[in-house]
């Protein structure tokens, strides 16, 4: 839907009239531990003035102030909105003008899994504890950001997502950041066969990252991968800690995948797992299971600075695909 609009009218001044908005917010660690669970050790650390817990409390206060400011601004504009924690969010969100995530990158990722044709805006609710890579707004500029969205001076950008299928059955979540294929025990060897295009290789390693451009600044970068522009339309694979025997050389240790090329992983692990966008979305993989990863036709459209990845790699520019 949106891709057609932007390709046909690349100079379109998109005036998004905000009538209905969904606010998705995180629950802070302090809120969960101290207020909801009343966890005894956590409360004791608060009484003792523990440095770590004090930081958690400060982050909680910042988050609550930001969330209150978002609610107040939407109310002052007579925008109809519903505010839910990310654990209460519906599996598929539609019939709204905008989804606003209030938290950090984890909250933004959760919100992205629930949308296919709804714009997303991230609000970093606690600058002291959250980097907020996906979050264009914060408490101080939230009102101005909404002004720019409605005026059409701020436009969403298209961000590639990946589609994952296990034994031919597509999982519901679209990948915004990365997929990790690994053994369920982090101390065990990950064994699998990787196929990219017409190339095929049996490998052993500590795991395999497959990342979007949006996710290339996170775990992939830390492992040694290439930082890509966030609006690039290729994805990247990277083998972490390959277990090559003496004299053994593998061709598929890292690379960029473009176009309609699929990446296929066949598990040789009895208890392997696939992790989507972090530690919370996990699917089991056993011996012979076949995992297919490809570029999704359902991109995410979000209000993000298209140059945001350059802070990690100033030379980041459009890359040429290897496959």
Q: Which two tokens stand for residue 184?
A: 């369920």
pLDDT at 315: 56
pLDDT at 52: 86
SS3 category, 300: strand
Distances in Å between the Cα of 83 and the Cα atoms of 46, 71, 97, 126, 199 are 29, 8, 14, 18, 48
Reported as a single tens digit per residue, the pLDDT across 31-58 is 999 999 999 999 999 888 899 888 999 9
Token pair 């938290």 in the structure block, residue: 103
Distances in Å between the Cα of 281 and the Cα atoms of 59, 213, 257 are 25, 20, 24
SS3 category, 58: helix
Who contacts 87 (Cβ-Cβ below 8 Å, separation ≥6)?
Answer: 27
Who contacts 105 (Cβ-Cβ below 8 Å, separation ≥6)?
Answer: 122, 130, 131, 132, 133, 134, 135
- Could you tell me if 14 and 98 are in contact, meaning their C-beta atoms sit under 8 angstroms apart? no
DSSP 28: P
Please tell me the number of Cα atoms within 13 Å of 203 on its side-chain side.
28
pLDDT at 300: 96
Reported as a single tens digit per residue, the pLDDT across 9-35 is 333 335 678 999 999 999 999 999 999
For the chain (length 323 residues), average pLDDT per consecutive 10?
A: 35 66 94 92 90 90 96 97 91 88 95 92 91 94 96 94 97 96 97 96 97 94 93 95 94 92 97 96 97 96 93 60 49
CA 185, CA 182: separation in Å to the nearest integer? Answer: 8
Q: Which two tokens stand for residue 213?
A: 């451009």
Adjacent-strand bridge partners of 240: 207
Q: Which two tokens stand for residue 57?
A: 């409390």
pLDDT at 5: 35
Of 44, 267, 26, the C-alpha closest to 126 is: 26
Q: Which two tokens stand for residue 256?
A: 């960029």
Please count the other Cβ atoms lying within 10 Å of the Cβ belonging to residue 93. Answer: 19
pLDDT at 232: 94
pLDDT at 314: 59
Please count the other Cβ atoms lying within 10 Å of the Cβ belonging to residue 293. Answer: 22
- Could you tell me if 177 and 159 are in contact, meaning their C-beta atoms sit under 8 angstroms apart? no
CATH number of 2-155: 3.40.50
pLDDT at 129: 82
Question: Cα-flanking dihedrals φ and ψ of residue 257, to 5°?
Answer: -120, 130
CA 313, CA 57: separation in Å to the nearest integer? Answer: 33
Q: Where in the chain is the domain with CATH 3.40.50?
A: 2-155
Q: Where in the chain is the domain with CATH 2.60.200.30?
A: 162-311
Query: CATH says 162-311 is which class?
Result: mainly beta
CA 130, CA 158: separation in Å to the nearest integer? Answer: 24
CA 250, CA 99: separation in Å to the nearest integer? Answer: 44
Q: Give the largest Cα separation in the chain, rounded.
A: 68
């Amino acid at each position: 839907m949106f891709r057609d609009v932007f390709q046909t009218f690349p100079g379109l001044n998109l005036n998004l009239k905000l009538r209905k908005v969904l606010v998705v917010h995180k629950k802070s660690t302090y809120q969960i531990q101290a207020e909801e669970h009343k966890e005894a050790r956590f409360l004791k650390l608060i009484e003792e003035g523990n440095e770590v817990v004090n930081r958690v409390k400060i982050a909680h206060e910042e988050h609550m102030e930001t969330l209150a400011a978002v609610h107040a601004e939407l109310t002052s504009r007579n925008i109809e909105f519903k505010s839910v924690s990310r654990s209460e969010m519906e599996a598929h969100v539609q019939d709204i003008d905008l989804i606003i995530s209030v938290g950090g990158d984890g909250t933004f990722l959760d919100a992205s899994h629930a949308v296919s044709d709804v714009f997303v805006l991230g609000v970093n609710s606690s600058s002291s504890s959250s980097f907020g890579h996906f979050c264009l707004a914060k408490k101080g500029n939230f009102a101005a950001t909404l002004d720019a969205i409605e005026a059409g001076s701020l436009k969403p950008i298209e961000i590639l997502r990946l589609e994952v299928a296990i034994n031919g059955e597509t999982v519901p979540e679209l990948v915004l950041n990365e997929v990790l294929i690994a053994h369920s025990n982090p101390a065990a060897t990950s064994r699998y066969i990787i196929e990219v295009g017409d190339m095929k290789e049996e490998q052993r390693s500590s795991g395999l990252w497959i990342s979007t451009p949006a996710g290339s600044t996170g775990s992939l970068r830390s492992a040694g991968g290439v930082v890509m522009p966030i609006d690039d339309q290729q994805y990247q694979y990277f083998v972490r800690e390959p277990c090559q025997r003496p004299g053994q050389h593998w061709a598929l240790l890292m690379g960029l995948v473009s176009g309609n090329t699929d990446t296929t992983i066949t598990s040789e692990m009895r208890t392997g797992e696939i992790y989507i966008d972090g530690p919370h979305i996990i699917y089991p993989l056993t011996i012979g299971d076949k995992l297919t990863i490809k570029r999704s036709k359902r991109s995410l459209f979000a209000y993000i600075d298209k140059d945001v990845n350059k802070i990690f790699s100033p030379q980041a520019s459009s890359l040429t695909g290897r496959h």
